[in-house]
Chains A and B, each alone.
Chain A
Amino acid sequence: MKKFIAAALTALGLAMPAHAADFPTGPVTIVVPYSPSGNTDVFTRYLAPYLEAKWGQPVVVDNKPGGGSMIGTAHVAQAEPDGHTLLMTSSAFVTAPSIQPDLPFDSRTDLTPIINVGHVSFVLITNADSPYETLEQFIEASKASPKFAATAGLGTTTHFAMEKFIADSGANVDVVHFKGGGPAVVSILSNETDIYGSSISSAGKNLEAGKVRALAVLGNERIDVLPDVPAAAELGYTDLEIKQWLGVFAPGGTDMAIVEQVNADIKEALENQTFIDTVTPLEWTLNGNTTAEFKTQIDTELTKWQGIADAAGIKK
């Protein structure tokens, strides 16, 4: 009943302006800029009940897919900055702007980063029947005869991963775009392309079954599920850290006290053992950094991906 009254008050516009002390004063909407059932959606729907319990207010997950996540993002950028409309989005937040001109918002100022909740690592894979046992062998071979790299689509994190890999390693590789990670993995299985920076979850079973071979983890450290695969940093590529992450944002200009409170409340959920047990099978590594750290990460990545897009001549 309490919930109902609060909801009704908000609906009638009678709620008091939010202060951190009494946040939230009404139902909180978390906008997911993807269709139901995607990775981002599932994660958010798991998280919502924890926040609901903490806040004593309904937490609604609202799917606004389209425009490579930019439609939902634009929606939150233009929402009331009172903390009652939040955005849960992926690293497309930092990659998509570098290929989509004329977005109706500024990624740096119109959204306030709150927390990075988790990430999935990428590995470079080739067909298991290919002659390349190490990344070095692949790069050498590409210089003798040019190779093809698959991506899960133009402007996706996998696309930027491949461009960054090419730029850093000097491999002679052309990118070919597929529609989604599944077809990209198939192109490796069928020898149509030669290398693909796949998320662990897309590559998973095929790695285990020995159909594809992992050459390197795109990061500075090895990962637990693939202890024998070297990290890119070990092979001399210290700037090749690429992850698909998930993060929460509020509209730009939201009271920092509210932002900090949401950060703390989400962090609490991320440390809940039941929550950890539910999302671990989805191959997520949970993070939970501070607002300032996340802000720095976003600014760095926006600059980094724009630079790669410009250098690689990806259309803007």
Chain B
Amino acid sequence: MELLGNLGLGLGVALSLTNLFYCFLGALLGTLVGVIPGVGVLAAISMLFPLTYNLEPTTALIMLAGIWYGTTYGGSTASILLNIPGTPANAVTCLDGYPMARSGRGGVALFMTTVASFFGATFGIILLTLFTPIIAEYALRFGSAEYFALMLMGLVAASTISEGSAIKGLAMMTLGVIIGLVGLDSQTATARFTGGSLGLMEGVSLIALAMGVFGVAEIVMSVRRVKASDIDPESVKLKAIKPTSDDVRRSWFPMLRGSSMGSFFGTLPGTGPSIAAFLSYAIEKRLSKTPERFGKGAIEGIMAPEAANNAADQTAFIPTLSLGVPGSATMALMLGALMIHGIAPGPTLISDEPELFWGLIMSFWVGNVILLVLNIPLIGVWVRMLTIPYHLLYPSVLLFICIGAYSASFSPLNVWMVFAFGALGYAMRIFKFPGAPLLLGFVLGPLMEEHFRRAMLLGRGDFMTFFDRPLSAAIMSLTGMILLWSIWSSEGAKKRRTERANSM
């Protein structure tokens, strides 16, 4: 019954008038920041960080956290309506969300992703409430070998993420890995592909890549091709958000699987929402009996990743609060907000600061309910965005992309990179090269390399280190099974196709 007492304590803190206000403010700002392409959560939180100096630490954290998970809620909006990811974690939502919007189901897509977000977040919060100390201990068992095995599994599982030619998909994945290599090598400090530029030493920013390849390319492609009048006026009415019973039926399991994947990756420092979203999309496509629907507006393709990234948003607090280890730059900011007030998160945080810990967790519930209430009526507003003439909409989106790219690291170089990647993305569209594997290779490649090199160092150069450690061995064998299964199933699919052709 101690848990109930703690929840009560937390709820009391979360529902105080001040905290409620800042929670609302955070969620609202987060939604806005998420909807505006390019302005990422890190930039938003950095800008608002000084505000928190004068707040109580719990209140400060409640507001910052609201921005953090609010962004992921809002981020799917631009992905679905404009094919421009609001945040990197929503990039994969473009793949099926945008086709849905094009076929007049934008309202449904927005409504369903809001539901998926709420579902995923709730799932994450339940884990956070019940198992924080246990999960934190468990996450410690993941060393470099395990991370590498996990990334490898992700890459194998995701190798079918794109439509069309497998060779083109593979080529894009490789290009992504190569772009990810730019910068200082982590173990020897050798500069790679920097061309002597100090700015490139930090590597290419994910925001610049995602904005360029998806956003700028989309805008360039649309010039003189689409008109606002292409959109069916009926599809932007509020009643058009009602999903069909088929949509609902198809959504349950993807949401559940997405939430589990997201919760898992959220707890591992260094992975987080983007990877969770990508991989859960890949898993859905692999499990689907009709994978050919993906990329053309399959509801599963938006439900799983949106549940996953929101679940990961919540569980990312587990390592941050209980180990004092931020999983990402944004989480490091949240730690900073606490440190300023003299609170150092760590194993004793829950017992030392029960009001802060439980108050924060309960504020997540409150914040997610606020987001749900806030987002559903807003869908009508967002969808109407599609009716804005493109000659007004797109220049302003470009402007926001520039601001976002700049503010990601306060570097004009990023803006140039957005345009370079925009050109690349445009060329890719013309020659029908898929964008998703490029992004996946970029995200996973450098992480794989980092963990592989470290695991080899720690294993003193012995490859068996990946199979000697039980957890890593288990993940490796699972990867092997996925690989075998995918070969088998693609052979089976081939056979079925020939049979069908023969019987005709």
- Residues of chain A touching chain B, judged by Cβ–Cβ distance below 8 Å, are 35-38, 42, 45, 63-68, 70-71, 74, 99-100, 102, 104, 148, 153-155, 174, 176-180, 182-183, 185-187, 189-190, 192-193, 201-202, 204-206, 208-209, 211, 281-282, 314-315
By a CB distance below 8 angstroms, the chain A residues around B142 are 190
By a CB distance below 8 angstroms, the chain B residues around A45 are 50
The size of the chain B interface, using a CB distance under 8 A, is 48
From B190, B345, B458, give the contact of A205 (CB < 8 A): B345
Distance between Cα atoms of A45 and B336 in the complex (Å)? 13
Q: List 10 A-B contacts (CB under 8 A).
A: A35-B46, A65-B410, A154-B187, A155-B189, A185-B324, A185-B325, A186-B325, A204-B344, A205-B324, A209-B347
A65 touches B347 (CB 8 A): no
Output the nearest chain B residue to A174 by Cβ-Cβ distance. Answer: B457
B184 touches A154 (CB 8 A): yes
B143 touches A182 (CB 8 A): no
From A65, A185, A209, A282, give the contact of B411 (CB < 8 A): A65
Q: Write the nearest CB–CB distance from B27 to chain A, whole angstroms.
A: 21
Question: Is B381 engaged at the interface, CB distance under 8 Å to the other chain?
Answer: no
Asked, given contacts A67-B198, A315-B190, whether A192 binds B458 with beta carbons under 8 Å apart, the answer is yes
From B187, B333, B342, give the contact of A37 (CB < 8 A): B333
Distance between Cα atoms of A233 and B455 in the complex (Å)? 34
By a CB distance below 8 angstroms, the chain B residues around A63 are 410
By a CB distance below 8 angstroms, the chain B residues around A155 are 189
Question: Is B144 engaged at the interface, CB distance under 8 Å to the other chain?
Answer: yes
By a CB distance below 8 angstroms, the chain B residues around A148 are 457-458
Distance between Cα atoms of A56 and B226 in the complex (Å)? 55
**A37-B333, A190-B141 provided; 13 other pairs, C-beta below 8 A?**
A42-B336, A65-B410, A66-B198, A67-B202, A68-B201, A70-B198, A70-B201, A182-B324, A183-B269, A183-B270, A185-B324, A201-B344, A205-B345
A66 touches B202 (CB 8 A): yes
Distance between Cα atoms of A156 and B144 in the complex (Å)? 20
Distance between Cα atoms of A247 and B295 in the complex (Å)? 53
Output the nearest chain B residue to A63 by Cβ-Cβ distance. Answer: B410
Q: Write the nearest CB–CB distance from B56 to chain A, whole angstroms.
A: 14
Interface centre among B341, B345, B457 (most CB of A within 10 A): B457
By a CB distance below 8 angstroms, the chain A residues around B198 are 66-67, 70-71, 74, 104
By a CB distance below 8 angstroms, the chain B residues around A178 are 454
From A37, A174, A205, A314, give the contact of B189 (CB < 8 A): A314
- Residues of chain B touching chain A, judged by Cβ–Cβ distance below 8 Å, are 45-47, 49-50, 140-144, 184, 186-190, 196, 198-199, 201-202, 269-270, 323-326, 329, 332-333, 336, 339-342, 344-349, 409-411, 450, 454, 457-458
B49 touches A37 (CB 8 A): yes
Asked, given contacts A67-B199, A182-B325, A205-B345, whether A282 binds B339 with beta carbons under 8 Å apart, the answer is yes
B143 touches A206 (CB 8 A): no
Output the nearest chain A residue to B330 by Cβ-Cβ distance. Answer: A37
The DSSP consensus for interface residues of chain B is: loop
Q: Write the nearest CB–CB distance from A279 to chain B, whole angstroms.
A: 9
By a CB distance below 8 angstroms, the chain A residues around B189 are 99-100, 154-155, 314-315
Output the nearest chain B residue to A202 by Cβ-Cβ distance. Answer: B324
Q: Write the nearest CB–CB distance from B13 to chain A, whole angstroms.
A: 21
Distance between Cα atoms of A213 and B409 in the complex (Å)? 36
Q: Write the nearest CB–CB distance from B40 to chain A, whole angstroms.
A: 12
B46 touches A281 (CB 8 A): no
A176 touches B454 (CB 8 A): yes
By a CB distance below 8 angstroms, the chain B residues around A64 are 410-411
B326 touches A182 (CB 8 A): yes
Distance between Cα atoms of A70 and B411 in the complex (Å)? 13
From A176, A193, A206, A315, give the contact of B347 (CB < 8 A): A206
Asked, given contacts A154-B186, A176-B458, whether A282 binds B340 with beta carbons under 8 Å apart, the answer is yes
Output the nearest chain B residue to A103 by Cβ-Cβ distance. Answer: B198
Output the nearest chain A residue to B143 by Cβ-Cβ distance. Answer: A192
By a CB distance below 8 angstroms, the chain A residues around B345 are 205
A154 touches B188 (CB 8 A): yes
Distance between Cα atoms of A192 and B189 in the complex (Å)? 22
By a CB distance below 8 angstroms, the chain A residues around B269 are 182-183, 186
Interface centre among A36, A190, A193 (most CB of B within 10 A): A36
Q: Write the nearest CB–CB distance from A136 to chain B, whole angstroms.
A: 25
By a CB distance below 8 angstroms, the chain B residues around A192 are 143-144, 458
B347 touches A281 (CB 8 A): no
B202 touches A281 (CB 8 A): no
Distance between Cα atoms of A275 and B347 in the complex (Å)? 30
Output the nearest chain B residue to A68 by Cβ-Cβ distance. Answer: B201
Q: Write the nearest CB–CB distance from B3 to chain A, whole angstroms.
A: 22
Distance between Cα atoms of A221 and B458 in the complex (Å)? 33
Distance between Cα atoms of A74 and B329 in the complex (Å)? 24
Output the nearest chain B residue to A101 by Cβ-Cβ distance. Answer: B191
By a CB distance below 8 angstroms, the chain A residues around B144 are 192
By a CB distance below 8 angstroms, the chain B residues around A65 are 202, 409-411
Q: Write the nearest CB–CB distance from A283 to chain B, whole angstroms.
A: 8
From A66, A153, A180, A187, give the contact of B201 (CB < 8 A): A66
Distance between Cα atoms of A222 and B47 in the complex (Å)? 38
By a CB distance below 8 angstroms, the chain B residues around A315 are 188-190
Distance between Cα atoms of A42 and B335 in the complex (Å)? 13
Output the nearest chain B residue to A210 by Cβ-Cβ distance. Answer: B347
Q: Write the nearest CB–CB distance from B412 to chain A, whole angstroms.
A: 11
